[in-house]
């Protein structure tokens, strides 16, 4: 039996995936969990704080770890990036794609609406960008990545294409579209090699 706080966090995360933050109903969460408002507001002072906790404790670690691990990759960094993209393809279930990337969803919904969300999501993207960018830079220094490419814009483009692939696949509600799009992205990354 997991503790109540964790239960609230994970059930809210599920709701967030399905309905977005604004669409998430605190009442529904506690009803589903068979607890009461007292419990929820004991752990989280407000709905907004619950949202922040979901980002900090669930989304942030998951979505930075993937790219931070590029640090440990030996060999051409482009292959490291490709390996992670392939991993994302293998992880992408029909359900996953239908609901879209949680990070992407939340950025779209909350970035312009709330500073707290905006700062947190900005931080996650910057960590990702930094991780990919510095991996590419290391590759350049090792002569594995073409000198003429600009590492930071390339990192941004890779992230953009990745999130965009989630978007389009979600719009068309087809996992296959996600795979197709990522495959083209992999070719792009491949072309960064010397």
Partner DNA sequence: TTGCACATACCAACTGGTATGTATATCTTT
Partner DNA sequence: AAAGATATACATACCAGTTGGTATGTGCAA
Point out which residues bind its own copies (CB under 8 A).
18-20, 22-23, 98-100, 104-105, 107-109, 111-113, 118, 121-122, 125-126, 152-154, 156-157, 159-165, 167-168, 170-173, 177, 180-181, 183-185, 188, 191
Q: Tell whether residue 28 is a contact of DNA (CB under 7 A).
A: yes
Q: Which does 146 bind (CB under 5 to 8 A by kind): DNA, its own copies, none?
A: none
Smallest distance, Å, CB 19 to DNA? 9
- The interface partner of residue 109, options being its own copies, DNA, none and the CB cut-off 5 to 8 Å by kind, is its own copies
d(CA 31, CA 37): 9
Stretch that binds DNA, among 34-42, 72-80, 125-133, 139-147 (CB under 7 A): 34-42
Residue 89, interface with DNA (CB under 7 A)?
A: no
User: Which bin fits 182, alpha (ψ -120 to 50), beta or left (φ > 0)?
Assistant: alpha
- Is residue 105 a contact residue for DNA (CB under 7 A)? no
CA–CA separation, 161 and 42 (whole Å): 41
Minimum separation from the CB atom of position 49 to its own copies (A): 19
Among 10, 11, 20, 47, indicate the residue that binds DNA (CB under 7 A): 47
26 binds DNA (CB under 7 A): yes
Residues contacting residue 61 through CB under 8 Å, at least 6 positions apart: none
DSSP 8-state class, residue 58: I
Give the C-alpha separation, 185 to 100, whole Å.
18
Distance (Å, whole) CA 92 – CA 81 = 17
Least spacing, CB of residue 148 vs its own copies, in Å: 11
Beta bridge partners of 50: none
- Give CA separation, 10 vs 19, 94, 121, 167, in Å: 14, 21, 19, 23
**Site residues, DNA (CB under 7 A):** 3-5, 24-28, 34-39, 41-42, 45-48
């Amino acid at each position: 039996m997991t503790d109540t706080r964790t239960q609230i966090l994970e059930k809210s995360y599920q709701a967030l995936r399905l309905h977005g933050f604004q669409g998430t109903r605190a009442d529904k969460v506690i009803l589903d969990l068979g607890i009461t408002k007292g419990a929820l507001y004991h752990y989280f002072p407000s709905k907004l704080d619950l949202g922040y906790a979901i980002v900090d404790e669930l989304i942030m670690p998951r979505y930075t770890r993937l790219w931070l691990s590029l640090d440990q990759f030996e060999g051409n960094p482009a292959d490291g990036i490709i390996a992670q993209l392939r991993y994302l393809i293998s992880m992408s279930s029909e359900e996953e794609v239908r609901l879209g990337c949680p990070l992407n969803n939340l950025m779209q919904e909350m970035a312009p609406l709330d500073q707290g969300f905006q700062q947190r999501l900005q931080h996650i993207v910057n960590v990702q960008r930094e991780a990919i960018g510095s991996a590419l830079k290391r590759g350049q220094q090792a002569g594995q990545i073409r000198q003429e490419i600009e590492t930071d814009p390339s990192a941004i483009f890779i992230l953009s294409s990745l999130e965009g692939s989630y978007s389009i696949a979600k719009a068309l509600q087809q996992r296959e579209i996600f795979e197709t799009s990522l495959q083209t992205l992999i070719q792009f990354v491949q072309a960064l090699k010397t």
